[in-house]
Amino acid sequence: MSAATEYCDREIAKCQDMIRGWPESEWRFNRLIIGWKRIKQQLKNSETINNAEDLA
């Protein structure tokens, strides 16, 4: 796993922890979590493309 995906995982965990502290703002943190998950997926997709190009 790359450092960037690990960073995304940490940020997602932080948002989940903040939901416990500020439940009234859960919708805001959920939007952030969705964004971090989207970035993580984009990183995985680009890794796959880069690996395929290296094999070609």
pLDDT at 1: 64
53 band by pLDDT with thresholds 50, 70 and 90 = confident
Sequence-distant (≥ 6) Cβ neighbours of residue 9 within 8 angstroms: 40
pLDDT at 49: 78
Inter-residue contact 32 to 15 (CB < 8 Å): yes
Inter-residue contact 16 to 48 (CB < 8 Å): no
5-45 per-position pLDDT tens digit: 999 999 999 999 999 999 999 999 999 999 999 999 999 99
